[in-house]
């Protein structure tokens, strides 16, 4: 009999490249992950991993198990969802992933509402970037994720995923209060091209949007500060050291030294979506949290 938890452990090892990384992602010890994979090897009668330097790689059988194990888990999830009465009371634990500003701006109120409506449903929350969140929900380590992408910079979803757009968030340019443009009703990206910028690091979705906004033949703006936290960018603007493009969702009250000016041509807009595995669409717990998450939008 194939243990789906062991399949999930193997999939996590394949995705992360090591037993230790997979253990961190799944919330187990490395020993527990190794034991799950070994148990799966015994059940199948074939080696699934082999040593490669300090890490491990999939054998041919391991690769096939990863490829087909995901489909197997989806079939089981779909069967479980169909067997549950659509009107049954949501119970158990559901794992929600969300990006940082959603954790601040959306999740607290939504969790309180979920507890009020469904007291037997426990919701755990993990903060992570949208690309990582999509991988996690596709792999089964999360059940639902809140993600965003900037219009013009897509976020690819695997065929086994379904999604709903909840809302659209907008970003403003934050300027020091004494900046000559701080009193403007709006600015264009060209108006602030020559400023010194604070931005998220390379490889993040917000940096991808920044590059998209300034695509073309002219040199890109000067970025002196790379900050993952928007709160750090706000402090840099307050000190007069930089300007920044910061979304409204979860931004909080700005200090008096900082002015938010809307951007036009283009307007920096990011749809916020809820993503889940299509096989779990009718599961009572997933359906209940989707309803709670969708209602405020």
What's the domain count of the chain?
3
Q: Among all chains, which residue has been given the structure tokens 């997979």?
A: 22
The yes-or-no verdict on residue 297 having pLDDT over 60 is no
Q: Which pLDDT value is given to residue 134?
A: 93
Q: What is the pLDDT of residues 160-183, one digit of tens each?
A: 899 999 999 999 999 999 999 999
Q: Tens digit of pLDDT for each residue in 54-102?
A: 778 888 888 888 777 777 776 666 666 555 555 567 888 999 999 999 9
**Domain CATH code at residue 145:** 3.40.190.10
| Measured CA distances, 277 to 6, 63, 81, 189, 230 (Å) | 19, 21, 12, 38, 30
Evaluate if pTM is beyond 0.85. Answer: no
Q: Environment class of residue 77 by beta-carbon count within 10 Å: exposed (0-12), middle (13-18) or buried (19+)?
A: buried
149 and 283 together in one domain = yes
Same domain, 189 and 238: yes
Answer whether residue 21 shows pLDDT above 70: yes
Q: Are 235 and 109 contained in the same domain?
A: no
**Do 102 and 153 reside in the same domain of the chain?**
yes
Nearest-10 crossing angle of helices 30-44, 19-26: 110
Compute the average pLDDT of residues 256-267.
96
Q: What is the model's pLDDT at position 274?
A: 96
* Residue 88 domain-assigned (yes or no): no
Residue 243 has pLDDT above 60, yes or no: yes
Q: 106 lies in which domain range?
A: 93-166+271-294
The CA distance from 264 to 266, in Å, is: 5
Q: Are residues 118 and 152 in the same domain?
A: yes
Does the pLDDT at position 120 exceed 80?
A: yes
Domain membership of residue 176 (yes or no) is yes
């Amino acid at each position: 009999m194939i243990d789906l938890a062991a399949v999930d452990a193997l999939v996590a090892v394949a995705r992360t490249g090591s037993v230790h990384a997979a253990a961190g992602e799944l919330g187990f010890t490395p020993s527990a992950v190794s034991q799950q994979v070994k148990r799966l090897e015994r059940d199948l009668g074939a080696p699934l991993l082999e040593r490669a330097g300090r890490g491990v790689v999939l054998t041919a059988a391991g690769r096939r198990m990863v490829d087909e194990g995901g489909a197997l888990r989806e079939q089981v999830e779909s069967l479980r969802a169909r067997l549950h009465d659509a009107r049954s009371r949501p119970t158990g634990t559901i794992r929600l992933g969300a990006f940082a500003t959603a954790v601040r701006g959306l999740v607290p109120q939504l969790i309180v509402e979920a507890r009020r409506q469904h007291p037997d449903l426990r919701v755990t929350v993990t903060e992570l970037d949208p690309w990582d969140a999509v991988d996690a929900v596709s792999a089964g380590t999360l059940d639902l994720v809140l993600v965003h992408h900037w219009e013009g910079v897509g976020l690819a979803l695997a065929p086994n995923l379904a999604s709903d757009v909840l809302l659209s968030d907008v970003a403003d340019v934050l300027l020091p209060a004494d900046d000559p443009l701080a009193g403007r009703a709006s600015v264009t990206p060209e108006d602030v091209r020559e400023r010194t910028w604070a931005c998220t690091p390379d490889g993040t979705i917000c940096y991808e949007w920044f590059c998209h906004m300034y695509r073309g033949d002219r040199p890109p703006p000067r970025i002196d500060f790379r900050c993952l936290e928007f709160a750090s960018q706000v402090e840099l603007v307050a000190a007069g050291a930089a300007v920044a493009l910061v979304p409204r969702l979860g931004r909080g009250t700005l200090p008096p030294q900082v002015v938010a000016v809307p951007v036009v041509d283009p307007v920096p807009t990011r749809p916020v979506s809820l993503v889940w595995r299509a096989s779990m669409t009718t599961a009572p717990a997933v359906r209940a949290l989707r309803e709670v998450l969708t209602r405020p939008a």
